[in-house]
Chain A
Amino acid sequence: DTAVSQTPKYLVTQMGNDKSIKCEQNLGHDTMYWYKQDSKKFLKIMFSYNNKELIINETVPNRFSPKSPDKAHLNLHINSLELGDSAVYFCASSQKTGGVGLFFGSGTQLSVL
């Protein structure tokens, strides 16, 4: 049983298209996140939801829109894809507070051509 699962694993698309990445966690956690990892492996937080409420919204273009239908799911929709959006996107989850840290999915490799 995968704790944090994201789909798809690979996504290849043309500039200007709209795409979505889905994430689900079965850990019973309250908080979910989206992180972006660039080609140099630098990880940066994008968004976080706590029990369907947006709690962290970093400086991200508004072409990126997260949606959390329930606390076990956090999806990421990207409009008008650009070349610079090419990266690996990681979903993660955690308890609201506490020292266990974040549990990550295996990532979605997005390539914009």
Chain B
Amino acid sequence: GEDVEQSLFLSVREGDSSVINCTYTDSSSTYLYWYKQEPGAGLQLLTYIFSNMDMKQDQRLTVLLNKKDKHLSLRIADTQTGDSAIYFCAEARGGYNKLIFGAGTRLAVHP
């Protein structure tokens, strides 16, 4: 994703919070998404945020959006071993939900 950037790796201890960061470039993107991919599986939509919001919370997940800096973050509270996966942020462009993905952040959760 040359237009959407993420750090590649994150390692956290079980029970701690994880914060995955993403920057995007298209200020006209209306929706921004977080997807989760487990080994050998497809992408699972975790959550999304509309561009006129700055925060969205859904159980253990909190999404923060700083539109001025084009920065998106995903916080996972009380991270569990089952949260180990690759997390992709994506921005939607155009009217046909054309999603541009970041390269993905590999989250490793250790005891």
Q: How far is the CA of A107 from the CA of B90 in the complex (A)?
A: 18
Partner of B104, one of A41, A95, A97: A41
Q: Restricting to A34-93, which residues have a CB under 8 Å from any CB of B?
A: 40-45, 48, 50, 55-56, 90, 92
Q: Residues 79-111 of chain B: 1 if any A CB is under 8 Å from the residue's CB, otherwise 0? A: 000000010101010011111110110000000
Nearest Cβ on chain A to B79's Cβ, whole angstroms: 20
Nearest Cβ on chain B to A40's Cβ, whole angstroms: 7
Nearest B residue to A41, CB-CB: B104
Given contacts A41-B86, A43-B88, A43-B101, contact A104 B95 (CB under 8 A): no
Nearest Cβ on chain B to A95's Cβ, whole angstroms: 8
A25 at interface, CB cutoff 8 A: no
Chain B contact patch, size range: 20 to 34
B43 at interface, CB cutoff 8 A: yes
Nearest Cβ on chain B to A38's Cβ, whole angstroms: 10
Contact between B45 and A101, CB atoms less than 8 A apart = yes
Q: How far is the CA of A99 from the CA of B48 in the complex (A)?
A: 7
Count contacts on A: residues with CB < 8 A to the other chain.
28
- Name which of B1, B43, B92, B97 has the most chain A CB atoms within 10 A of its CB: B97
Q: How far is the CA of A105 from the CA of B99 in the complex (A)?
A: 15
Q: How far is the CA of A95 from the CA of B48 in the complex (A)?
A: 15
Contact between A90 and B43, CB atoms less than 8 A apart = yes
- Name which of B30, B37, B88 has the most chain A CB atoms within 10 A of its CB: B37
Contact between B98 and A40, CB atoms less than 8 A apart = no
Partner of A40, one of B30, B95, B100, B103: B103
The list of the 10 closest CB pairs from A to B, nearest first, reads A104-B42, A43-B101, A104-B43, A106-B42, A94-B97, A99-B31, A41-B104, A101-B33, A101-B45, A55-B96
In the complex, given contacts A41-B104, A90-B43, what are 8 additional A-B residue pairs having Cβ atoms less than 8 angstroms apart? A43-B104, A45-B100, A96-B97, A101-B48, A101-B99, A102-B45, A104-B44, A106-B42
